[in-house]
């Protein structure tokens, strides 16, 4: 079943923004879509229920209803590194549990967009990290590059880590975090040359831009090609 694992060059680079946009884009093309955030750290109490903002955005962007346990198997209240949050709660983040939730979602939807936490090497447990989760799910990756000073090094290091895990990178997205970034076009061109996969979209620096508007920045032809390759 087609799907994608959204990773990023760092935390706060727009992974949820991209995941929600992809869900909206595939929904507009007529696919049944659902988003998944296997591990989320940081929650607030809303109507008596602890909720994570990213999880709720993904829920709203998809067009398939699923249980919270499947959409987000692990939720921690503290906004800290997932493995530390898990240690504080005496919880072991199990890849098998996440894989089972993902498998259930593939029975409900045609496209499953899975968003990681932080970057590809963020630890999940003493011997596992987010890259191991991507391997366990067997999904091609979409890399979100936060366009700001230092992004070249972060993006190329992540690309090396992806290759080291024998993962497939389906494409990347440039998310402009710094509107005044010096030599933006030159940095973008460098990554276009160095990353041997398509640039799927450039997201402008617009904090208020919703997922539906961002979805229009992804070319349908490219979206269809990603599914065929996946």
**d(Cα 36, Cα 38) in Å, to the nearest integer?**
6
Whether residue 139 contacts residue 227, with contact meaning beta carbons closer than 8 Å, is answered with no
The pairing of beta strand 49-51 with beta strand 44-46: antiparallel
Pairing of strands 39-41, 141-147: unpaired
Q: Which of 15, 37, 89, 221 is catalytic?
A: 37
Looking up tokens 């949050």 gives 85
Q: Is the dihedral of CA 57, 69, 38, 71 positive or negative?
A: negative
Q: Which two tokens stand for residue 30?
A: 């007529």
Alpha-carbon dihedral sign for residues 210, 53, 151, 180:
positive
Known catalytic residue: 37?
Answer: yes
User: What are the residue numbers of the active site?
Assistant: 37
């Amino acid at each position: 079943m087609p799907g994608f694992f959204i990773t990023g060059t760092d935390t706060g680079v727009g992974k949820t923004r991209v995941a929600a946009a992809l869900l909206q884009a595939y929904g507009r093309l007529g696919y049944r879509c659902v988003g998944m955030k296997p591990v989320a750290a940081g929650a607030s109490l809303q109507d008596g229920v602890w909720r994570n903002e990213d999880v709720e955005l993904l829920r709203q962007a998809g067009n398939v209803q699923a249980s919270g346990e499947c959409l987000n198997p692990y939720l921690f209240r503290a906004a800290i590194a997932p493995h530390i949050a898990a240690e504080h709660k005496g919880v072991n983040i199990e890849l098998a549990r996440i894989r089972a939730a993902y498998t259930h979602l593939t029975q409900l939807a045609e496209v499953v967009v899975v968003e990681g936490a932080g970057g590809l090497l963020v630890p999940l447990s003493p011997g596992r990290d987010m890259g191991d989760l991507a391997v366990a799910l067997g999904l091609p990756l979409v890399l979100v590059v936060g366009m700001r000073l230092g992004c070249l090094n972060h993006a190329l290091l992540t690309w090396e880590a992806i290759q080291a895990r024998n993962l497939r990178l389906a494409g990347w997205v440039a998310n402009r975090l710094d509107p005044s970034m010096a030599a933006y076009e030159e940095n973008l061109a460098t990554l276009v040359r160095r990353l041997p996969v398509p640039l799927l979209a450039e997201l402008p620096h617009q904090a208020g831009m919703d997922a539906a508007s961002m979805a229009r920045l992804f070319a349908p032809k490219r979206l269809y090609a990603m599914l065929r390759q996946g």
